Amino acid sequence: MNSDILILGGTGSIGYAFTMELVAQKIPVTLLVRDIHKAQQIFDQTPLIEFVEGDVQNGALLKTLAQDKKVIFHGINYSYEAWKGNMQQATQNVIEAASLNKAQIIFPGNIYNYGLIQTPIMEESPENPCAVKGQIRVELEAMMRTAAQNNLCKLLIVRLPDFWGPNVMNEGVRPIFANALKGKPMRWLCNMDIPHQTVYTPDAAKIMVELMKIKQVEEVSVYNYGGQVHASMRTLFAKIAEQAGQSAKYQLMSKWMINLLAIFIPVLKEIKEMTYLYENTVVLNDDKLRRLFPEFKETPLEEAIKTALSWKGYQS
């Protein structure tokens, strides 16, 4: 199998969706994974996926894999407390690997770069992070932008808000769907009665694959994809519970509770600085993308929820 695409972070939320969209379009891919057995359990058997066991921190291995690749999908992520250092080194390794063949790096961005911004985020909006993780995201993108501007690679950033869908197993999303199926309370942070923007990962993957297919002329291309703005997370949770055949139950974790528990729980210490995103509505403007793909439509919400609820990782 000859693959032009190397996927890093393929067993994660966005990487999984991106891989599945490519496979659905009969496009072969190479996945670098830390645990082949785990990866094979996540993905269905298909000759279109080549698994290679290893770590993105192994720069020599990454260069070996990338020598003939035209695209490198940088979906690497670590737990919040492990971001510092690991994310920068992983990104540097990706840049060096991409430079061998002047490959296109596809990077799923987020809204952390902009801090508490009151107006919709445009592709050219000034970055103003108000949290350490936002500062790190700005740093990572700056590293890749510099490499692209120095003609070492191409860079495509697709910026996304919160996401959900099959194989989204982080502790912010997994309990929502797993608890809905069991009739248990669905958890959210700070305020569930204000508008909140989310994307369904298979929709984001379709967008990224279509953008990948366009010959990139500029060294750096940036697109926002905002998905849908829900009137509130309470209304979205009610729809999830309905599709699960359960009554909607909610659990709101207040800011003071997060601050208290953060003393004892490391991940909450990291989440504490991100609560501004749950106390306020921060949205991406994706008019640029929708002008490019005027026929694109999101998966109907009811269908998307049903598919997400059927994910095997939520059943146990």
Helix (H), strand (E) at residue 229: strand 228-230
| 268: pLDDT strictly greater than 80 | yes
Q: Which pLDDT does position 269 carry in this prediction?
A: 85
Please give the mean pLDDT across all residues of the chain: 96
Q: Which pLDDT does position 270 carry in this prediction?
A: 86
Mean pLDDT of 108-134: 97
Looking at the chain, the whole-number percentage of residues with pLDDT higher than 90 is 93
Q: Residue 197 has what DSSP assignment?
A: E
Helix (H, G, I), strand (E, B) or coil at 238: helix
| 315: pLDDT strictly greater than 90 | no
The number of angstroms, rounded, from the C-alpha of 41 to the middle of its chain's C-alpha atoms is: 20
Q: Which pLDDT does position 313 carry in this prediction?
A: 92
Q: Which pLDDT does position 45 carry in this prediction?
A: 86
CB 8 within 8 A of CB 29: no
Mean pLDDT of 103-118: 97
Mean pLDDT of 141-166: 98
Instruction: Give the CA radius of gyration of the chain.
Output: 19
Give, to the nearest 10 degrees, the angle between helix 83-99 and helix 132-149. 10
Amino acid at 49: I
b vs e for 273-288, b when ≥16 Cβ sit within 10 Å of the residue's Cβ?
ebbebbeeebbbebee
In sequence order, the 6+-apart residues with CB closer than 8 A to the CB of 160 are 14, 108, 109, 110, 199, 204, 225, 226, 227, 284
Give CA angle at 200 (177, 273), nearest 5°: 75
Q: Residue 202 has what DSSP assignment?
A: H
Helix (H, G, I), strand (E, B) or coil at 69: coil
- Kindly state the tokens that stand for 190: 């700070």
Mean pLDDT of 38-65: 95
DSSP 135-164: HHHHHHHHHHHHHHHTTS-EEEEEE--EEE
What's the start-to-end Cα distance of the chain, in Å?
35
How does residue 256 score in pLDDT terms, banded at 50, 70 and 90? Answer: very high
